[in-house]
Chains A and B, each alone.
Chain A
Amino acid sequence: MRFLPLVLKHLRRSWVRSLSTILAMALCIFLFCTLQTFLTAVNRSLKSANAARLVTRHAVSLVFNLPLAYRDRIAAVPGVKQIAMQNWFGGARRAGDFSEFFPNLAVEAEPFLEMYPELILTPEEKQAFLGDPRGCVLGPDTAARFGWKLGDTFQLESFIPPYRVGRPFEFVIRGIYTTDEAHYPGTDRTLMFFHHKYLYETTGRRVGVGTYVTEVSDPSQAGAVSKAIDALFANSDNETHTETEQAFRASFVSMAGNLALLLNTIGLAVTFTILLVTANTMSMAIRERRTEMGVLKTLGFSSARVMGLVLTEAGALGVLGGLLGLLLSQVLIGALPHVPMIGPFVRGLAGFGLTPLLALSGLGVALFIALAAGLVPAVLAYRARITNLLRQV
Chain B
Amino acid sequence: MSMVEVNQVRKLYKRDAQQITVLDGLDLQVPEGEFLALMGPSGSGKTTLLNLIAGIDRPTSGTVRVAGTELSQLSENALARWRSRSVGFIFQFYNLIPVLTALENVELPLLLERLGGRERRERALTALKIVGLADRASHYPRQLSGGQEQRVAIARAFVSDPKVLVADEPTGDLDARSAEEILALMETLNREFKKTIVMVTHDPRAAARAHVQRHLDKGVLTADA
Q: Which residue of A lies closest to B88 (CB)?
A: A299
Separation of A291 and B99 alpha carbons in the complex (Å): 14
Give a binary string over A3-42; 1 marks a CB under 8 Å from any B CB, 0 the rest.
1011001101100000000000000000000000000000
**Within 8 Å CB of B108, what residues of A?**
6, 296, 299
Separation of A294 and B89 alpha carbons in the complex (Å): 12
Chain A nearest CB, measured from B40 CB (Å): 18
Please judge, given known A-B contacts A2-B111, A295-B97, A386-B57, whether A300 and B156 are in contact too, CB under 8 Å. Answer: no
Separation of A12 and B109 alpha carbons in the complex (Å): 22
Q: Which residue of B lies closest to A296 (CB)?
A: B108
Chain A nearest CB, measured from B164 CB (Å): 13
Give which listed residue, B57, B95, B100, contacts A387 with CB less than 8 A: B57
Please judge, given known A-B contacts A298-B56, A298-B89, A299-B89, whether A292 and B97 are in contact too, CB under 8 Å. Answer: yes
B112 interfacial contact with A, CB 8 Å:
yes
A301 interfacial contact with B, CB 8 Å:
yes
**Within 8 Å CB of B119, what residues of A?**
none
Chain B nearest CB, measured from A338 CB (Å): 45
On whether the beta carbons of A298 and B83 are closer than 8 Å, the reply is yes
On whether the beta carbons of B80 and A303 are closer than 8 Å, the reply is yes
Separation of A229 and B10 alpha carbons in the complex (Å): 93
On whether the beta carbons of A9 and B100 are closer than 8 Å, the reply is yes
B interface residue count range (under 10 / 10 to 19 / 20 to 34 / 35 or more): 20 to 34
**Within 8 Å CB of A297, what residues of B?**
56, 80
**Within 8 Å CB of A386, what residues of B?**
51, 56-57
Give a binary string over B90-104; 1 marks a CB under 8 Å from any A CB, 0 the rest.
010101011110001
**Within 8 Å CB of A303, what residues of B?**
76-77, 80
A264 interfacial contact with B, CB 8 Å:
no
Please judge, given known A-B contacts A9-B99, A13-B99, whether A299 and B109 are in contact too, CB under 8 Å. Answer: yes
Chain B nearest CB, measured from A119 CB (Å): 62
Which of A3, A6, A291, A303 neighbours the largest number of chain B CB atoms within 10 Å of its CB?
A: A6
Chain A nearest CB, measured from B71 CB (Å): 13
Separation of A304 and B81 alpha carbons in the complex (Å): 12
Separation of A298 and B153 alpha carbons in the complex (Å): 13
What are 27 of the A-B contact pairs (CB < 8 Å)?
Answer: A2-B117, A6-B97, A6-B108, A9-B100, A10-B99, A12-B99, A295-B91, A295-B95, A295-B97, A297-B56, A298-B56, A298-B89, A299-B84, A299-B109, A299-B112, A299-B156, A300-B81, A300-B82, A300-B83, A301-B80, A302-B76, A302-B81, A304-B77, A305-B80, A386-B56, A387-B56, A393-B95
Interface contacts beyond A298-B56, A299-B109, A387-B56: sample of 4 additional A-B pairs, CB < 8 Å, sorted by A: A292-B97, A299-B84, A390-B56, A393-B95
Q: Which residues of A contact B (CB under 8 A)?
A: 2-3, 5-6, 9-10, 12-13, 291-292, 294-305, 385-387, 390, 393
